[in-house]
Amino acid sequence: MNRWMGRAAALLALSVALAGGGAAAQASVPAAVPQVSSPGQWATTGDMTTAREYHDAAALANGHALVAGGVDAVGNILASAEVYSQATGTWGATGSMSQVRLRHRLTALADGKVLVSGGQGGGSGSMGGSGNSLVSAELYDPATGTWAATGSMSTARAEHTATLLPGGKVLVAGGDDLSVATASAELYDPATGTWAPTGRMSTPRAGHTATVLADGRVLVAGGGNAQGVPVASAEVYDPATGTWAATGSMSSARSAHTATLLTDGKVLVAGGFDGTSAVAAAELYDPATGTWAVTGSMNAARYEHTATLLPTGQVLTVGGCCQDPAGAELYDPATRTWSTTASLHTGRYLHAATLLSSGEVLVAGGLLISGTERTASAEVYQQAARPDGSLHIKRITAKVSGRQLTARATFTDEDPNGTVTQFSATFTWGDGSTSPAKVSRNRAGLFVASAAHTYAKAARYTVTVTICDVGGAATSGSKTVSIGS
């Protein structure tokens, strides 16, 4: 049995046991997590045309969401893709990839196209058949709804990470060949459609996370090593030198976890699988010191879940195997604690989650707790906002230097006791990327949200800023800018 199929079998056995596979297993299931007053709700939306798990998703610059690949209801690996329209709440078929893929990665590029890299294919097209990891990559063009071949990687890999760097290139790191994890890394250049090798990680990993830090470096954490054993180590990639450097290790070894960049520049890692069981523990990485600190644990242990940074600065975790697959929780960076929020209508893991331009979170597909049934259902998380209109954007300014844009939004709060620490802000740059903003106060006593971004090509872009406070009030505004050559 190869490395990945062994892990999948273990996951299936655990999920069946927790669903009711024997008295001993049932006795080990923790009590249900109590619900608290919910600051949000889930609404069902249109089903996908195809049930799928092990797929991936990407937000498109036009506000839609793309889902591609995965495994269907009868175990066939898929090449198909579909697009969700938040305006209509429906899915529509779009062009299929040239190869079937699962455990692949989708990366939204600065020009609005989407790169799919690697994954697991199969000569028979079936997850249970003879499979192989892939070196191929393709580009999806939302304007035409079609895929086109692009350069292939030098190393076949699945369950890797594919991270958009500030300069527009994509860093692919780690992954496995369905047997052994690799430490290799490569860079994709959208301008040439080619891949180039870059520095190798010190530890082979698959099922790890990769997070772009505020300074442009990339933090890689956890994952399974060459023997498939989850590790606690982490390392940082510097795009300026193309090299990796060791950094502090987490207190808990984990794979199949999540990592989220917070608005203060720290990284929240939550959940995962430690080689024996699911993990509820969470940790914070501080790039300034290169160290980790334990933070509040989730109410339920979970892995193969999703985590999404909300416009409020909170983090929403959803589903996961196997204790609370319908559960969702919110992490508050101000208090460093978790609270339960409204549960999914359909519990799931191995699903995909996408932050929509509306600020809502789309969850689609996945595997049900039975471990044998995939779902086509989708739901949208809507966070309640305080309807007091207390935040007001006064003006948005933009300073352009070449392809770099520095944006500033000046705003006011009707609360006379408002402070900088109670606000979070996010800029959406119009090219498919977003950045957390720094919030400060100017000499006139007005609040200012600011951030900078470098575009990959010259064009006109609509920049949107969303500002939220800890009480739930939110406001947004947009400005169109022209980026020169």
Please report whether residue 444 resides in a domain: yes
Q: Is the pLDDT of residue 54 over 60?
A: yes
Same domain, 170 and 84: yes
Per-residue model confidence (pLDDT) at position 389: 54
Inform me whether the pLDDT recorded for 40 exceeds 60. yes
Examine the domain organization and report whether 464 and 330 are in the same domain: no
Q: Are 375 and 395 members of one domain?
A: no
Residue 13, helix vs strand vs coil: helix
Q: What is the pLDDT of residue 318?
A: 98
Cα–Cα distance, 183 to 76 (Å, whole number): 29
* Continuous segment of H or E residues that includes residue 392: strand 391-401
Give per-residue pLDDT as tens, 407-436: 999 999 887 777 888 888 999 898 878 889
User: CA 430, CA 111: separation in Å to the nearest integer?
Assistant: 9
Question: Among residues 191, 188, 195, 194, which one has the least CA distance to residue 169?
Answer: 188
Per-residue model confidence (pLDDT) at position 289: 97
Task: Give the domain range for residue 286.
Answer: 41-123+130-382
Query: 102 and 232: one domain?
Result: yes
d(CA 223, CA 173): 12
Structural domain ending residue among the three candidates 327, 355, 382:
382
In terms of domains, do 447 and 363 share one?
no
Largest CA distance in the chain: 67
**Interval 4-25 mean pLDDT:** 37
Tell me what pLDDT residue 311 has. Answer: 85
Helix (H) or strand (E) holding 228: none
What DSSP designation does 48 have? Answer: P
Same domain, 396 and 378: no
Is 28 a domain residue?
A: no
CA distance 146 to 138: 10
- What pLDDT sits at residue 386? 46
- Structural domain contains residue 2: no
Instruction: Measure the CA–CA gap between 455 and 56, rounded to whole angstroms.
Output: 25
* CATH number (domain holding residue 467): 2.60.40.10
Residue 439, beta-bridge partner list: 449
Q: How far apart are the first and last CA of the chain?
A: 53
Paired tokens of 20:
């009711």
Q: Residue 287 pLDDT > 80, yes or no?
A: yes
State what percent of residues in the chain have pLDDT above 70: 88
- Name residues whose C-beta falls within 8 Å of residue 31's C-beta, 6 or more positions apart in sequence: none
Alpha helix segments (H runs only) across 57-104: none
- What is the average pLDDT across 452-473? 86
Read off the CATH number of the domain in which 194 is found.
Answer: 2.120.10.80
Q: Which position has the higher pLDDT, 96 or 387? A: 96
- pLDDT, position 465: 92
Domain end call among 335, 354, 382: 382
Interstrand relation of 282-286 and 267-270 (parallel, antiparallel or unpaired): antiparallel
Do both 343 and 463 map to the same domain?
A: no
Q: Is residue 8 part of a domain?
A: no
Q: Residue 3 pLDDT > 50, yes or no?
A: no
- Total domains present in the chain: 2
Token pair of 420, please? 């900088």
Residues 6+ apart with CB under 8 A from 314: 330, 331, 332, 333
Sign of CA dihedral 356, 166, 457, 187: negative
Do residues 254 and 352 share a domain?
yes
Same-domain pairing of 400 and 342: no
Neighbours of 202 (CB within 10 A): 13
Q: Which residues pair with 41 in a beta bridge?
A: 382
Q: Is residue 228 domain-resident?
A: yes
pLDDT tens, residue by residue, 100-125: 999 999 999 999 999 999 999 975 44
Is position 18 within any domain? no
Report yes or no on 365 lying in a domain. yes
- Check pLDDT > 90 for residue 444: no
d(CA 362, CA 380): 5
Domain end, chosen from 337, 358, 382, is at 382
Is there a single domain that holds both residue 234 and residue 295? yes
Taking residues 118-138, report their average pLDDT. Answer: 75
Torsions phi, psi for 481 (to 5 deg): -130, 155
Q: Who wins on pLDDT, 152 or 264?
A: 152
Both 229 and 301 in one domain: the answer is: yes
As a whole number of angstroms, the distance between CA 475 and CA 485 comes to 32
Tens of pLDDT, residue by residue over 203-223, are 999 999 999 999 999 999 999
For residue 342, the model assigns a pLDDT of 93
Q: How many residues does the chain have?
A: 485
More confident residue, 474 or 196: 196
- Contact, 367 vs 349, CB < 8 A? yes
Q: Using 50, 70 and 90 to split pLDDT, how confident is the model at 39?
A: low
Which stretches within 136-236 are classed as H helix? Answer: none
**Is 471 or 133 the better-scoring residue by pLDDT?**
133
pTM across the whole model:
0.78
As a whole number of angstroms, the distance between CA 460 and CA 335 comes to: 40
> Are the C-beta atoms of residues 172 and 157 closer than 8 Å to each other?
yes
Structural domain includes residue 35 = no
CA distance 155 to 334: 42
Q: Which of 78-92, 246-260, 358-372 has the lowest mean pLDDT?
A: 358-372
Rounded distance, CA 419 to CA 413, Å?
9
The whole-number pLDDT of residue 423 equals 86
Domain check: are 343 and 418 in the same one?
Answer: no
Instruction: Output the average pLDDT for the chain.
Output: 88
Between 196-200, 269-273, 380-384, the lowest mean confidence (pLDDT) is in 380-384
